Amino acid sequence: MTLNDKGLSGDLIIEKSLEFGACLAGIANVEELKQSPSHNVSEKISMYIGGGVGTKTVEGVKLGEVKWPAAAKSAVVIAVEHPADAPDMDWWLKGLKGGTKGNARLMAVFSKLAEWLEQEEKIKYIKIPYHIEHGGIFMKDAAVSGGLGCVGKNNILVTPQYGSRIRLRVMLLEEDLPSTGVIDFDPCEDCKEYCRKVCPEKAFDEKLYSAEEYGQEELPGRTGVYSRMKCNLQMEKNAADGKEVEIEDTGKKGHEVRHCRLCEQACPVGRS
Ligand code: SF4
Ligand code: SF4
């Protein structure tokens, strides 16, 4: 068990996250995280990531720029499973707390963990938004440093236990804790790339970024082939297909959108 100078254990935080409902959890040290692939390259590739689902345009903030809170020393990354037979975990429903059922679960784990840290451990935490341009960070990089899995050829996190069928949330801490550490896991190496082949927009079919140009080997889609702009075309089609549905247990109606998850669902990793 690794303790920091106040005797705080990252292992205990992970244990508590799991107890509060996360399916996976880990710790990433902020100084390490600042050097991670997405944080290194995001500003340089901002012209390719602007607009659409997952990005926002905010006046005065450069696209792809990560604004780290000065007091942040480490990050706790928590995950909840989105099982293949529960697609509704991911459906966006306007009027539903958290936007999706999966996010509502993440919020519940987050608030129990925050309460425990503050009241039992006297540890200050920092809540950050989801979007980078609003003050978020690249959660998949935090998950890699936190030992949850690796970034797959589908450009999202792949975990040994659940494949990519998880969602992440990050809480920053004002405590310096070491990263749980990268795990020895790479299911993509010899895979037939089901994730890439299934994409309706062919978002992985073209080389957009090179190691020479961007000064690092780890690039979007691992090899520099992932096009967020093409993926966004699909998200826009999904949004246009949205419809009014009943919001469970409220008697109210809300607008529901079912975004594409094909590159996540096609991955065979973690299926029993
Ligand atoms: S389908 Fe294969 S290549 Fe794609 S993320 Fe899964 S393991 Fe990696
Ligand atoms: S979410 Fe859908 S459109 Fe986007 S990259 Fe994956 S398979 Fe392609």
Q: Per-domain residue ranges for the chain?
A: 10-265
Relative to the alpha carbon of 201, which ligand is closest?
A: 2
| pLDDT at site 1 | 53
Instruction: Report which ligand 1 atom has the smallest distance to the Cα of 194.
Output: 1
| pLDDT at site 55 | 53
| pLDDT at site 57 | 62
- Which residue's entry shows tokens 């309460």? 115
d(CA 25, CA 11): 10
Among 168, 157, 152, smallest CA distance to 23 is for 168
Residue 210, SS3 per DSSP: coil
Residues of the chain with pLDDT under 50: 51, 53
d(CA 39, CA 7): 30
| pLDDT at site 49 | 56
Contact 256, 93 (CB under 8 A): yes
Q: Is residue 151 lining ligand 2, measured as CB closer than 6 Å?
A: no
Q: Is residue 260 lining ligand 2, measured as CB closer than 6 Å?
A: yes
| pLDDT at site 232 | 93
Instruction: Return the number of other C-beta atoms located less than 10 Å from residue 253's C-beta.
Output: 14
Instruction: Report which ligand 2 atom has the smallest distance to the Cα of 262.
Output: 7
| pLDDT at site 141 | 96
Nearest CA to ligand 2 atom 5: 231
Task: Output phi, psi for 19, to 5 deg.
Answer: -60, -35
Relative to the alpha carbon of 193, which ligand is closest?
A: 1
Q: Is residue 152 lining ligand 1, measured as CB closer than 6 Å?
A: yes
Nearest CA to ligand 2 atom 6: 263
